[in-house]
């Protein structure tokens, strides 16, 4: 009798879950905000943990965080604005923090209360006198926005909450599994996701760290058997152009070999090497860049294609 009551109770709870959240997989995990709104429903404990960590990172970035960025000037050839004072202001235009950019145009404001309305100001000097715009970028060199000259002659930009998250070192993009989950439910035919597949310098054999990323890709391909995959590898601009092109192709080939060794049909896979032909920041041949900027260009892209 007790067993039948328990079964009935469980069924009742399950029915309520289906009704409330539209759950279609059991067992399911739910991430719900304090007001009862559903953030995530999944049958993957790993996905739940990653989503929760992402929310924690975002919450940290909107309370107290270090804000780091890069300042660049110039129209076509953007150069770092070096040894230049930059100020952080509140809504009353009071200066909260002041610092100076380094040799790569990088700056950091430590332990900022990001619940305030914040602005960045760059004073007018001879270095920026002839420029109507200063570019605000991430430390990787990826440009976020333009800071334009005010009537007073200096440069000022009001930071959005999204800017603060992007400029915080705790900022991190969605895991490839989460990206694919969104793509799978959408009507899109292609998804391009960049990941750090680690290699030793100048080599193309897959490391243990790289295998951890590729194992996620294998799980996706095993689940979505009608999806094809292009693996596109990029290098930074350091070194010989032709050698970098060859190295990137070997790295893509190595990824394909690893995936096929785990049972993925090679007919579904394509290896592409682009060398340094598609840099995502200013770091072309002969340009002095930080390690962080070069690292931004060393990437492997996974282009998932629905049939």
| Confidence at residue 9, expressed as pLDDT on a 0 to 100 scale | 36
CATH code assigned to 64-167:
2.60.40
Name the segment(s) of the chain with CATH classification 2.60.40.
64-167
Q: Strands, DSSP E only, in the chain?
A: 29-32, 38-42, 64-73, 79-80, 85-89, 95-100, 106-113, 119-122, 133-137, 143-148, 155-158, 190-195, 227-233, 269-273, 300-306
Is this structure's pTM higher than 0.85? Answer: no
Whether the CB-CB separation of 138 and 167 falls below 8 Å is answered with yes
Q: Which CATH architecture describes the domain 176-306?
A: 2-Layer Sandwich (3.30)
- The string of DSSP letters for 10-52 reads HHHHHHHHHHHH---SSS-EEEE-TTS-EEEEES-HHHHHHHH
Name the segment(s) of the chain with CATH classification 3.30.1330.60.
176-306
Spell out the per-residue pLDDT of the chain, length 307, in tens: 333 333 333 444 445 544 554 555 556 676 666 555 666 667 777 777 777 666 665 555 446 788 999 999 987 788 999 999 999 999 999 999 999 999 999 999 998 988 889 999 998 888 888 888 999 999 989 899 999 988 888 899 999 988 888 888 654 455 788 888 888 888 889 999 888 787 777 888 888 888 888 999 999 999 999 999 999 999 999 989 999 999 999 999 999 999 999 999 999 999 999 999 988 888 888 888 998 888 888 889 999 999 8
The closest of 230, 237, 245, 216 to 280, measured between CA atoms, is: 237
């Amino acid at each position: 009798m007790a067993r039948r009551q328990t079964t009935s109770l469980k069924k009742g709870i399950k029915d309520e879950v289906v009704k409330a959240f539209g759950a279609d997989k059991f067992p399911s995990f739910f991430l719900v905000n304090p007001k009862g709104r559903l953030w995530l429903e999944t049958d993957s404990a790993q996905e739940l943990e990653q989503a929760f960590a992402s929310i924690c990172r975002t919450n940290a970035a909107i309370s107290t965080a270090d804000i780091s960025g890069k300042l660049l000037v110039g129209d076509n050839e953007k150069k770092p604005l070096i040894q230049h004072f930059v100020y952080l202001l509140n809504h009353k235009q009071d200066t909260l923090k002041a610092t100076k950019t380094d040799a790569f145009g990088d700056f950091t404001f430590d332990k900022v209360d990001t619940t305030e309305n914040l602005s960045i100001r760059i004073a007018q000097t001879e270095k920026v006198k002839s420029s109507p715009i200063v570019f605000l970028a991430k430390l990787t060199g990826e440009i976020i926005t333009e800071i334009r000259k005010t009537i007073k002659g200096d440069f000022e930009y009001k930071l959005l909450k999204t800017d603060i998250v992007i400029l915080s070192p705790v900022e991190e993009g969605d895991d490839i599994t989460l990206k694919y989950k969104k793509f799978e439910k959408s009507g899109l035919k292609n998804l391009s996701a960049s990941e750090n597949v680690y290699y030793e310098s100048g080599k193309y054999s897959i490391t243990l760290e790289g295998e951890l990323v590729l194992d996620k890709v294998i799980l996706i391909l095993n689940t979505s058997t009608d999806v094809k995959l292009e693996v596109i590898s990029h290098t930074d601009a350091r070194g010989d152009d032709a050698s970098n092109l060859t190295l990137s192709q070997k790295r893509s080939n190595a990824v394909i070999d690893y995936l096929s060794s785990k049972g993925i049909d090679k007919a579904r896979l394509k290896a592409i090497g682009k060398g340094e032909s598609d840099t995502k920041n200013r770091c072309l041949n002969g340009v002095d860049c930080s390690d962080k900027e070069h690292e931004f260009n060393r990437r492997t892209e996974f282009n998932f294609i629905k049939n």
